[in-house]
Amino acid sequence: MRWKERKVRYMNELDRKLQMLQTEATTLSALVTLLQDSTFLVYYEFKKQIVIAQKAGKS
């Protein structure tokens, strides 16, 4: 009978860890998306500044 109790506890612990990892994966996925968006915005601003500097240099 004891082995069944240990098995149930073990399975419950695995379920808890799985839920925790799924939550972490969702959070990290959202963070990756945010960082990708931020990187694009920084790149866009950088390119815009280069164009402005080039126009100012031609004047």
Domain count, the chain: 1
pLDDT in tens, 33-56: 999 999 999 999 999 999 999 989
CA–CA separation, 37 and 34 (whole Å): 5
Residue-wise burial string across 34-48, b where 16 or more C-beta atoms lie within 10 A, e elsewhere: eeeeeeeeeeeeeee
Distances (CA, A) of 39 to 5, 6, 10, 42: 51, 48, 43, 5
Long-range contacts of 11-17 (CB under 8 A, 24+ apart): none
Asked whether the predicted pLDDT for residue 59 surpasses 70, the reply is: no
Domain of residue 9, residue span = 1-59
